[in-house]
Structure 1
Amino acid sequence: MSLYTFFGCLLVAYGPILSIFFLYIGQNAQYVLLMVSSAFFCLIALLISSVIWYFAKAAQLIHSASIAYSIAVQEIFRWLFFLLLRRSEAGLNVVSANPHSPLNQSIFSFVTGFGYALTTALVSYISLLVESIGPGVMMCPSCPQATTFFISAATTSIFSLLHITWMMIAFEGFSSVRKPAGAARVAWVIVSHFGASYATLLNSSETIRYGCVYAIIICIGILSFSTALVAYSLKSRYQLAHPHSS
């Protein structure tokens, strides 16, 4: 049964992002390079968070504090990667399939968001996934009917999609951060990142019954709204590229 659990959780956690890679990103060398670059930035952010956690002895058992500085470091490196990509955007457009397309920035942000998503998914869940092979079973404290392996797999899958939408919204906001709409997008990314991350604390709560269900609902709600923002931005850019289309 443990082997079935392993492959089931593997597909739940990594199925969506692996599908995106093999069907879209893996077929373009430029996208693969962008993905690896953003994954490297995300890995540095996670490494710095780990160093902070190691030296902050007093806060090691306070999960809310660990989440706070980890998200802050990730968002700072998201902004730094945007600055790097902005400087190389002209060259990336030249070698892209459609050099003059207004959708290129959205495509680049999607690919770099995938790099963030893949890195965080591997780092946060791979060790727990390996433990699912063992003879023991870890039940979720807030949902005793479900295993921690499955709840964490579902959370990992949702966060993978969230990181993609967050990157696309953040890049749109950084490009026009001096405008109210741009600043609002950046604020939404930061606030929703904190909200979704803190919602996962409900999974380990022993006082809130079905806390894992509430956590997943909150994350799906944030994902839905973020997806709507991305769809609106893509629609605006498409109308800019095809002004005479109906």
Structure 2
Amino acid sequence: MTLRTAFGCGLVAFGPVVALFLVSCARYPLRIILLALSAFFWLVGLLISSLLWFAVVPLREQLAFGLVFTVLFQEIVRFLYFFLIQKVESGLRSKISVTEAEREPDTSVTTYAANSQADVDSDIPLVASKKAFLNHNLIAYTAGLGFALMGCVTEYIFLFSQLTGPGTPMQGSRPGAFFLLAALDSCFMSLSQIAWSVLLFRAYRLRKYLQIVIIIAAHLGLSTVSLVNDLALPAPELLCALLVISFFGFLAWAFFAAGGTVRPRKVARSD
């Protein structure tokens, strides 16, 4: 029974994130590379926070201490990932500018951008605009997906170990409800990572400092509120509801910030 519960809750926690990976990244090698790179950055942040937690002996038993610094280090490595992408874009732009300057102009041939539309559709990144050499929204989404996958894995490991032990007593009128709520918390917290990456990358690029503070504060606040799981009912249910509401709020914000619209697109027809 506990093993079936563990796999069922695992599908709840990992299902949406894995589905997004299979649909949007699995077929594109460059996106997988960027996703793996973002996951590596996330692990570096977790390693640094773990070293800090291990070094500060008096506060090892305080979950809030480790949680706050883990979130802060996650945001630091997210910014470092963005900074690395900006450096890559700058280097690519300089390289292409030098190449185009050395190339002899040919008026009989129409010169396009460094990539064709087929390149954009087939794999990651490049767009035809000289102002935005890379597709920042796609890179931010891929980075957020890497953060989401690693966050979901680390959050669910403890839950999985508790569920698959030699004996797990289920107490109360709703046995196993806590595990389902914990899986839902992991699911929506990991999905929020994608929206936060899209919003933060845009805020970093446009230097919108107020948005940066709001998003990081929301990440820190939601992570800290998760400590109420130790309290009695209905604290876990309220936490799950809060995570669901906040996720859809950030999802809508990220959708419109990335240029999305609810209006139907008009398709030009040529007869």
Task: State the TM-score bracket (shorter-chain normalisation).
Answer: 0.7 to 0.9
Distance 1:57 1:15 in 2: 37
Contact 2:120/2:127 (<8 A) preserved: yes
> Which of 187, 206, 209 is residue 213 of structure 2 equivalent to?
187
Q: How many pairs are equivalent? A: 236
Is 2:142 the partner of 1:116? no
- Conserved in 1, the CA contact under 8 Å of 2:178 and 2:236? no
| 1:125 pairs with 2:125 | no
1:66 & 1:117 partners in 2: Cα distance?
19
Matched, 1:99 2:130: no
Aligned-partner Cα distance in 1 for 2:81–2:266? 31
Q: Return 5+ residue gaps in structure 1 as ranges.
A: none
2:189 paired residue number: 159
Calculate percent identity across the aligned residue pairs: 25
Match of 2:239 in 1: 215
Counterpart CA distance in 2 for 1:184 and 1:226 is: 15
Summarize deviations over 1:122-141 as a string: whole Å, max 9, x none.
12212421331224336699
Where does residue 39 of structure 1 map in the other structure? Answer: 39
1:226 alignment partner, one of 245, 250, 255? 250
Runs of 5+ in structure 2 lacking a partner?
Answer: 94-113
1:184 is displaced (CA, Å) by 2.3
Larger gyration radius, structure 1 or structure 2: 2
* TM-score, length basis structure 1: 0.85
Distance 1:56 1:123, change over 3 A: same
Q: CA offsets per residue over residues 23-62 of structure 1, 9 Å max, x none?
A: 1111111110000000000000001111111111111111
Structure 2: which amino acid aligns with 1:100?
Answer: A
Summarize the Cα distance change of 1:112–1:134 in structure 2 as closer, same or farther, 3 Å threshold.
same
Residue type matched to 1:197 in 2?
Answer: S
SS at the partner of 2:128?
coil
Look up the match of 2:64.
Answer: 64
Cα separation, 2, equivalents of 1:29 and 1:45: 25
Instruction: Name the counterpart of 1:235.
Output: 259
**1:2 Cα shift?**
1.6
Q: State the SS of the aligned residue for 1:130.
A: helix
Inter-CA distance 48–140: structure 2 relative to 1 (3 Å threshold): farther
Aligned to 1:4: 4
Indicate conservation of the 8 Å contact 2:10/2:156, yes or no. no
Relative to the length of structure 2, the TM-score reads: 0.78
Q: Distance in 2 between matches of 1:127 and 1:63?
A: 14
Is the Cα–Cα contact under 8 Å of residues 34 and 143 in structure 2 kept in the other structure?
yes
Counterparts in 2 of 1:210 and 1:237: CA distance versus 1, 3 Å: closer
Contact 2:26–2:32 under 8 Å retained in 1: yes
Residue 89 of structure 1 pairs with residue 89 of structure 2:
yes
1 CA distance for matches of 2:51 and 2:211?
30
How many Å apart are 1:109 and its aligned residue? 0.2
- What CA distance in whole angstroms lies between the structure 1 residues aligned with 2:186 and 2:70? 16
Single out whichever of 115-124 and 164-173 deviates more from structure 2.
115-124
Q: Which residue of 2 aligns with 1:18?
A: 18
> Which deviates more from structure 2 when the two are superposed, residues 36-45 or residues 125-134?
125-134
